[in-house]
Structure 1
Amino acid sequence: KNYLRFRFGLIENNEPTNYVSKIDGTAENSFSVDGVGFDTGGGVRSLVPVALNSAIGVNSWKTDFDSATVAFLSTGTQAEDYEQVFEINHYFTILPFFLDGELSNIQNLIQPALFTSTNTLKYVFDAQFNTTLSNPNGTKSATIDNWLGAVGWYNESLNG
């Protein structure tokens, strides 16, 4: 079985990678789960997707407790160093629809600074897998932060 800590962020394209909420600047966007791909008996591992648990604390970004799942898919061969393959799905709505003090801008169709001109948000994440939560040794992690965003504002299918 495996433990997963999954952090994500919506950041500006040129911003350094971070996982802090743009809504309040304090909450780290984070999920975790234990028991991914557990042994169902006889060495057969579960392929059932498992819901990730959202972080405890200030979660201004949170819209749905079961908005992220992870599933064990397979184990590689000896030639592939027995690598494990997982699939993470994360569904969410970008919130808030507007920030305090921006209502008149919304009413007058003035875009927030995050979406004016070529400004936009991109999705970044860090997945940290381990056999247990309590021992950080042996953690395998992957950070994906190189895909540019193209999030649109009202009535835009992409930014611009």
Structure 2
Amino acid sequence: MSSSSNESLTDTNKTSAASSSSALPEQHKSEGTTQRLDQEHITKLTEEAFRKLSEYTRAELQVTIDDCQLLQTMNKSTQDKYSQMSLMSQRLMKEMSKVQNTYADFDSFVSHIDDIHQQAVEMEETAKALDQYSRYLEDKVVKTHNRRQQQQKQQQ
């Protein structure tokens, strides 16, 4: 500490010693002033606390409002998306109905094709049977013809 500070401290100590020995009414005056200062300080601190609490509450309410607005925006977006999906589903249902109708129309054609195929298979089997029978007859004719030729050769 500097020497001037030491001097002022010494002066202050002397003054406070002189004032405490001087008179009691001044002490009461000082206590009243201190009490008023304490009340003013408490009032200022209380007002500041209320002001800060008010600011905090406003900030919390603003955050809540912002959250609600965000939820509202998200709900709107979701509603729009589901609307689009609903329209797409309706279109798909219509197209599916068309496909089912087309399938029903083609089903009769497919049934006819299956019948024709079955008839072709039966005709093929009949043709094979006829082919086998014609070979059998051809073999029989050839054998008969060969026997006749042999008989003619033997008769000669």
The answer to which structure has the higher strand fraction is 1
The answer to which structure has the higher helix fraction is 2
> Normalization by structure 1: what TM-score?
0.15
Q: State the structure with more CA Rg.
A: 2
Per chain length, whose mean CA-contact separation is higher, i.e. which structure has more relative contact order (CA < 8 Å, sep 6+)? 1
